[in-house]
Amino acid sequence: MIFDSILGKFSKDIGIDLGTANTLVYVKGRGIMINEPSVVALNQKTGQILAIGEEARKMVGRTPAHIVASRPMRDGVISDFEVTEQMLKYFIDRVHRGSLSFMPRPRVVIGIPSGVTEVERKAVEDAARNAGAREVYLVEEPIAAAIGARLPVQDAVGSMIVDIGGGTTEIAVISLGGLVTGKSIRVAGDKMNEDIINFAREDHNILLGERTAEEIKISIGSCLDLDEELQATMRGRDLVSGLPKEILITDSEVRRALEGSVKFLVSSVKETIEDTPPELLADIMRNGIILAGGGCLLRRFDEMLQRETKVPVKLSEDPLTAVVRGTGIIVENIDRLRDSLISSS
């Protein structure tokens, strides 16, 4: 313990948004220093990790049989414990590179989905400890996102946040530092990519890669009709001939592909509003629903949600970093915001 606390003096406390698609790291006193895909490339013959983050993402779908580029996080929780541990260790070491600490032992705050089980929660704690953390604090992602969006989470005021990540969407009403009501659903960015892959297969007989589907979603994805038509080239393998094939698709086709997931998200938000106590609902009507996470950047999603819920909807500043900024604010003010943390197992 004494050894740990001595090493801790030379370590930088960090906040981590351990996402299904991307991992972001905030360093105390310095801000967001890492924003990399949650992807690890592994040599299965030797068990050696070849690349982590952006370098590994470039390998997805392009490796020989014995090299696997995979995502150790699925639906916001750990699906491969050892690989997640290695990924966290890599990020912790990278933050401390060039500093005096030869064995970093930082305090770490990690955002996790609100719907995780005790076992899944413990897996995150254990992975962070094994990766070198001296103390691990967990915070529910919607609370971290709300803190990152500068909402008055500690006050007796209702704040509503919808955080659409890669693996999960977190919908929550927060007051006095805790969740009053909410949902954690496994329909988010990855599910939308899957929708586009299914649409390509069923409507055009094309087998698409996950990365190509995501690029199409970002470049022309939308929820409502747009002022001018957008187009993108869909490239994949023809399922009939087995040869490469490319076709031009429009935003209306992608909108049709995403319709089921978007409707489910909207109905989940409406259900959460129905479960909200009237006093807090009055606050939300006044202050609006705040959107965070990469999924909320889908064109005209905010307008659609406002139309369906009859509540004002606003995008948080830089939605992609709301959760990690929230963990960063907690790292900087750990004693004041301790009530917002999940009690350690």
**Binding-site positions for ATP:** 20-22, 166-168, 214-217
The strand pairing partners of 17, in sequence order, are 24, 111
Residue 94 CA: distances (Å) to CA of 90, 97, 111, 118, 225: 6, 5, 20, 29, 44
* CB neighbour list of residue 48: distance below 8 Å, 6 or more residues apart: 42
Angle at the Cα of 274 from the Cα atoms of 272 and 278, rounded to 5 degrees: 110
Torsion of CA 293, 219, 197, 42, to 10 degrees: -70
Q: Are 178 and 340 in contact (CB under 8 A)?
A: yes
C-beta separation of 253 from 199 below 8 A = yes
Task: Give the integer Cα–Cα distance in Å for 72 and 37.
Answer: 11
Please tell me the distance from the alpha carbon of residue 169 to that of residue 262, in angstroms, as a whole number.
11
Distance of CA 340 to the CA centre of its chain: 19
How many alpha carbons lie under 13 Å from residue 250 in its C-beta half-sphere?
7
Cβ–Cβ < 8 Å for 130, 122: no
47 class by beta-carbon count within 10 Å (0-12 exposed, 13-18 middle, 19+ buried): exposed
Q: Which residues are annotated as a binding site?
A: 20-22, 166-168, 214-217
Separation between Cα atoms, residue 17 and residue 40, nearest integer Å: 17
Q: Is 305 helix (H, G, I), strand (E, B) or coil?
A: helix
Residue 81 is which amino acid? F
